[in-house]
Structure formats: C-alpha cells, structure tokens
Structure 1
C-alpha cells in the first residue's frame, strides 16, 4: 500500500497499467452518452419495436380527377424525380400529365351495364317490343345540317329520309385543320356510300372485312397499319370486331394481325388511334354484345359519330333467354349507349317484319341507327 501511495503521489503510473485502464474508461464514457438513447426491452424474449416512416414520391391522388383509371399491374411509378429539372418545368409537366389523364379518363370511363326496369308490371313481349320500337324510331337530337350518304358537303336534311346521315353541326365535326379517322365494318359492300362520304372529308379510312374479297376497293392488307397522312385512301384489313378480350396466349404481335377478331379498343391501339370520328358497323347480329363491350369498357366514349345496323329477327350472338328477356336486354343496352353520351339523330327501317321470329305489324327486322356523341 505504501508503495502504491508513493507512486500515486509522484503523479505517474507505469505505461502497462495506463494501457489497461484506457478501454474500460472509453466504454464507461460511451455508456454514459449513448445508453439513455438505446431502446428498452419490453420483456424477456420480445424484440424492441422499430419505428420508421415512408416517403412517397407518387403524385398526390387528391389532385387527380376523381374516377381516373388507376395504373394496372406491371406499370411502375418513377423511382425518383430528376433533380436537374427546374421548378417551372416540373409544374408544366405536372399540368400536362393531369390534362392527359383527365382526357383519358373522360374518353375511357367504364361503366357497368345497368339493367332497366321491365316495360310492364310483369314480362310482356308486346310491352317490351313497343318500348324498343318507340325508342329507336324517335331521334333525340335535331340537326339543321347533315352529311347524307355519299355526300361530303353539309346541307339541310333532305326531304326524303336517307338510310343514314351524319350530324354536321360545327361543334360535332372534327376541326378542318386536324386529321379525322373513320372505321367501317361491313362484309356486303353496304358501306360504299359511307366510305365515299368520309374519304371526301379527307379522313384516314380503315375498312374491316374478314372475307377474302371486298367491294369497297382501296388498299388491301392483313396487317394493321395506319395510313396517316394519306387521307382519302381506304386501307382494308382482313379482320373483324370482337366483344371478348383476347386471351393472352392467343394474342398476336401488335401491328401484324391477320384474319382475326379483336375488340375495338385493341384495334384502335394497334393503329395508334385514340379517337375515331366516324364509325360504321354492320355486325350481322353481333352488335348487341359489341355495344355492351363498348359501354362496359368505356370505348363508346372514343368515337364521335356512329352508324350501326341493329338486327331484331333473332336474339343475336351469345344472347339467350326468353323473348321477353331478350327485349329487356336490348333496351338496357340502348339505354347504356345513351347514358354514355350517344344521342340518336336518325333512324331508318329495313325490310321484313320479323322480330324474334315472330311477325309483327309495328316493327321491322332491322334498323339503321345514326348516333352522335355529345360528350366528346
């Protein structure tokens, strides 16, 4: 003890002893500083809770238009903002994104086909038929200027009712300085006057016919290719319109489709078209399911004018049920088109008086209906 006291008194320790004392001193200092910040154990065998926060780089959902389509699987958000973009450029890009998103939402807003009430207290063939005939023979929009079959110059409605007509009010026609697009689906050459009208307007025209020959003339080809900038020339495609989405393993390469069927939305995507200004469709009793597909997918909001033939002599492809149920379904489809923005501007009756294989006095076997989209 006396020896130790003498050494402390001298104020110096041997070097080995100092080296041994430094690590315990540093450990004690670290515990004094960091110890209070360490998480406390909540109990034996329980791991301490970890708190964290997530910083989202996705644009504020509240700033988007309600009802805008969400991103589908396989589409990823940008992982980070480009730090070199100036604030003004960022705001401009954001506005462009929102404008395009709003336009796409307006054009492609899907809706469920709403089943309408029965025409009478109980299912009735007579009541259901009368309701449909009344609906498809009463135009909902009067046009002071029209485009008649085969004519590309607007004029007042002719005294004699034509098979179909296009409403030529200025606010319903594409701007003169912008290209227009026209589609025609027909296998019997009944679209000749329609093609003459839209080619006279200088539209980019596409004719779809799965048969080997066509009476429409123009360029032929099995592949989907646009003729943008070649207005007035009809490009033919050996294919037809489908109402069911193609299965993934049956899908062809975009732009190289042969004699196949696709939905209107897929055809437009393959051709690079967001809008079809004029659409002619004689789908040979497949129109009811196609109309339903347009309503439920929102495709109906992507064309401006529609001339379509509806067939009433039988239920149509993949439409079943009693006669009363079929009439009920047809009327629900027509109401769905109206709810999507289509207004009837003209109606023309075809030949025959057979409806669902029954002879009727107040109806015809087919009608050519002309609609205009008032929500474009």
Structure 2
C-alpha cells in the first residue's frame, strides 16, 4: 500500500503539472482578451488599436567609429524636402556608385577609341599634340591680351586670343558677362580686356582674402549695371555635382561650387568670356561641363591644360590618361567649342616623361559656334 500510494502521489503531481499551463492560458485570455482588436462587423466601426514598436536596429544617425560603410569626412545630414521640412533617416554615407552618378550629368563622356590597334604612348601623345596645336577656326578680327579693341591677328603669337567676329560678340544691348578662375594672377590681361569691353566681371580665387565693394570674400553678389568693375570672390570651381542642390544666392558657407551653381547664384544665363587656369583640375571640370551641358552657356573659353601629370582624380596607365584627355577634348568640340588659338608653355615633361615634340602645358582659346 505504501508503495502504491507513493506511485499515486507521483501520478497526481504529474496530472497537476499538465493542468497548470492550460489554466494559465485561460486566465491570460480572460484578462487580455477584451483588449485585443475585435473583427469589424457590418455597420460597426472597428476599434482602433495603438501599437508601440520597439526596434532592435541601431539608430540611423548614430556614429560608429570604424564602420566600413562610412566614407571619411562625410557628415550625417538630413535630407530636405520641398515644403522645407526635414525627414530623418538620411543615409550617412555614399558608396562609389553614388559619387560617380553625382559627378556624371545627363550626357556621359564618350571615351574615344585608341589611336592605333593597341595602346601606344607615342600614338596617343601624337594625337593629343596634333589636336591642341591646330586651330579649327580662323578669326579675321580678334581681341588680344590687354586690348579692348578688336583688330587683325597680331604677327607674334600671344598667350591667348578672343575671336571678335561680329556674329560672336555680344550684341550692343546685351549685358556682357565675364568670369575668371586663376590662382597665379595670370589673368591680369584678361581682366583688363573684358573690363575695357564694359563687361560685368567676376574673378574667383579661394586664396584671395580681399573683396571689392566691401563684401565678404565668399559672397556671390552680382554687380549688374557696374560694368568694368572686377568683383572678387573667394571661391573655386567644383566638378562634383552636389548631393543636395541648395539655393546659392547671397553669402555662401562653401568656397567650392560648380560653374552651373555659380551662374545660378549670380543670376547669369550666359558667360560670354571665361578664363580658367585650374592647376591640373581642368580635365575633371571640363568633363563636368560636357556632361552637364554647361558649355552651351559659354561663348568663349580660354583655358590652360596641364600635361605634367594625370590631374586630380584621373588615374590609369599613361596610355589610358592620354586617351581620356583626348576624349575630353572631343567632348568640348562636340559641345560646340572650336579651337581658335594655341600657345605652348614651358617645359617638355608630359606624364613625367620628357618629350621633344610636346610641352608641359598649353593655353588654348576656344569659341562656341553653337549659340
């Protein structure tokens, strides 16, 4: 009997253990059940339930040191929407594809075929030198450095020329606009020429701490109606299209903008005369102008191209660099620019190689025949 009762006690304990979970479940349903949403019935509005969601994901705006998905130097930022509000959750990083897509515009630069059947430094170099030393348009009347009166081309070869044919110059009743980007003060004659024409002149130099008219150096205020006066800006050209386009009128916190953004800030639809010496950044800037269509608004361009090294953000073998340069030059031509003058600089180093038939830099003068 003692043994039987022992086994019976164990049996009764097991039965109780089996009954406890259903009992607890039934109790939970009695307590929580009335709070659950009821199925909607015809003609009766369904009860609205508020939910509180707890996320186990990290906050989007939290900073994580050493995170492989973050690019150095990029700050967390909120994206602006049209109504002026901000929405959270903006991505705090950009991958290489995003940066490439922002650098490219609506028209992709067309990479030209190799000069010969296979990559050749000599063949690519000869094609480049031939292209930049042979003018494509002859001008019977030109503006020479420092001269505001059109004349026949001078006997000696100046550093640059502006084609002054009547059909190329701004109309008498059209405001003339000129921009200059130079850090070596090599644009003095250009500024003198366009000032003498009565143009609205803007000079851009990030190293210049002075500004005319008592305005801040990074202010983009125009000088309409004040022709001939050079307005100075502590600003430089950018070739990367900004991720977010901001209104740029007035004072700016940035000293680097694309040409299109600068023109928009100044209220200009056309730049009649543009001078640039970008210290090897010209190739990427040219590419931006080609792809964005900005060159359609430029009438005359004087630019120095540097051949000593590949240039900013330009990589590859020497042959690939030369082909890229030639592709950019072809893009300028496809945009309507015709070469009217070429002047060789000093030195004979091209991509760190000494060459006899080329120079380290060239100052090229173009005019736009598509306007």
CA distance in 2, matches of 1:282, 1:243: 14
1:254-285 Cα offsets, whole Å, 9 max, x none, are 32114510100000000000100000000010
Q: Who is 1:193 aligned against?
A: 189
Counterpart of 1:332 (choices 327, 335, 352) is: 327
Matched, 1:202 2:170: no
Equivalences for residues 169-318 of structure 1 within 5 A: 169-213=165-209, 221=216, 222-248=218-244, 251=246, 253-258=248-253, 260-318=255-313
CA distance in 2, matches of 1:110, 1:343: 22
SS in 2 for 1:334: helix
Counterpart of 1:133 (choices 121, 129, 133) is: 129
Total equivalences in the alignment: 269
- Extract unaligned runs of 5+ from structure 2: 1-80, 84-104
SS in 2 for 1:171: coil
TM-score by length of structure 1 reads 0.69
Matched, 1:154 2:144: no
Contact 1:220–1:235 (CA under 8 A) maintained in structure 2:
no
Equivalences for residues 106-145 of structure 1 within 5 A: 110-145=106-141
CA distance in 2, matches of 1:371, 1:217: 29
Contact 2:158–2:343 (CA under 8 A) maintained in structure 1:
yes
CA distance in 2, matches of 1:136, 1:252: 38
1:36-81 Cα offsets, whole Å, 9 max, x none, are xxxxxxxxxxxxxxxxxxxxxxxxxxxxxxxxxxxxx969xxxxxx
SS in 1 for 2:305: strand
Structure 1 residue 220, shift from structure 2 partner: 5.7
Structure 1 residue 188, shift from structure 2 partner: 1.1
SS in 2 for 1:285: coil
CA distance in 2, matches of 1:261, 1:306: 20
1:284-331 Cα offsets, whole Å, 9 max, x none, are 100000000000000011110000000000000000000000000000
CA distance in 2, matches of 1:217, 1:270: 18
Contact 1:207–1:235 (CA under 8 A) maintained in structure 2:
yes
TM-score by length of structure 2 reads 0.70
CA distance in 1, matches of 2:294, 2:234: 22
Contact 2:150–2:164 (CA under 8 A) maintained in structure 1:
yes
Contact 2:248–2:261 (CA under 8 A) maintained in structure 1:
no
1:324-367 Cα offsets, whole Å, 9 max, x none, are 00000000000000011000000000000000000000000000
CA distance in 2, matches of 1:184, 1:219: 20
Contact 2:209–2:234 (CA under 8 A) maintained in structure 1:
no
SS in 2 for 1:111: coil
- Extract unaligned runs of 5+ from structure 1: 1-72, 76-108
Matched, 1:365 2:360: yes
Report which stretch shifted further, 231-240 or 251-260: 251-260
Q: Who is 1:354 aligned against?
A: 349
Cα RMSD over matched residues?
2.0
Q: Who is 1:43 aligned against?
A: none
Kindly indicate which of the two structures has a greater share of residues assigned to helix.
1
Structure 1 residue 247, shift from structure 2 partner: 2.9
1:155-189 Cα offsets, whole Å, 9 max, x none, are 00000000000000000000112211000000111
1:70-122 Cα offsets, whole Å, 9 max, x none, are xxx969xxxxxxxxxxxxxxxxxxxxxxxxxxxxxxxxx95321111101110
